[in-house]
Amino acid sequence: MPTLFAPAGAGEAGGDGWGSARAALANSKWAGTFSGLVGRTRAGSIRLAPAFLVGTAFRMVTGADLAVMQRGQLWSTSDPYDITLAPGAQEYSVEQGGELAAAIAIATDPTKDVMAYLREQHVPVSKLIVLTPPGGPAKDGSVADSTAANALAVGIRDHLRGVTRPVRRMHLFLACPMGLSLFLGHRWNRLCQTVVYEDIKVDEGYEPAFTIEA
């Protein structure tokens, strides 16, 4: 069971605080994905969209640090890195509107499923940007440790900052380690409004989980 560690009181105040994230979870179908809120430790079975939301509640700009157990390793947002890892990037034309879709294809490649969802649901995006591990395809173990996760989270955010400047809303699909989803949320600022999707694996395949003001 994944366990998150955060400073007591961090992110409590303001619209982006832990209280707001907890309220968003409570008012969504994902309320059961995060439990055991005791003291400094937040423990539970955490899906990718809620993990991203929690990261935004404790953003780096608040001074908070986060840590998570990822496959037996402690990943921390405070772990240093020397060089930002720029993701690989591919673009696919959709031409259904002026917004943008992005898929974080790190653990597996969701491109086919995301494209099908965008088409079937008539999501108003001009294109889909698929971001992959540096130098290789999406696969398990492509993020080796906490240092790599921090460096890649910054690289993904910086790439999306550049491509989303002309747009007002991004549709975000996550296929990555839970710790990377958390780290991305932690560093998600100076970006456009972001609709985060959860892979439900039935019916339409995805559904909007949360909307983040970045």
pLDDT (tens digit, 9 = 90+) per residue, 65-109?
A: 898 989 889 999 999 999 999 999 999 999 999 999 999 999 999
- Please report the pLDDT score of residue 21 as a whole number: 53
Low-confidence ranges of the chain (pLDDT < 70): 1-45
> Do the beta carbons of residue 144 and residue 112 sit within 8 Å?
no
Token couple for 202? 């039935």
All residues at 6 or more sequence positions from 132 whose CB lies less than 8 Å from its CB, including other chains = 87, 88, 89, 90, 105, 106, 109, 138
Whole-number Å distance between alpha carbons of 67 and 134: 23
- Please report the pLDDT score of residue 19 as a whole number: 53
Q: What is the pTM of this model?
A: 0.84
- Please report the pLDDT score of residue 11 as a whole number: 43
User: 3 vs 6, 71, 94, 124, CA distance in Å?
Assistant: 10, 11, 38, 36
Q: Output the average pLDDT for the chain.
A: 84
> Do the beta carbons of residue 57 and residue 21 sit within 8 Å?
yes
- Please report the pLDDT score of residue 23 as a whole number: 54
- Please report the pLDDT score of residue 16 as a whole number: 44
Q: In 3D, which of 66, 28, 20, 19 has the Cα closest to residue 47?
A: 28
- Please report the pLDDT score of residue 20 as a whole number: 54
- Please report the pLDDT score of residue 203 as a whole number: 73
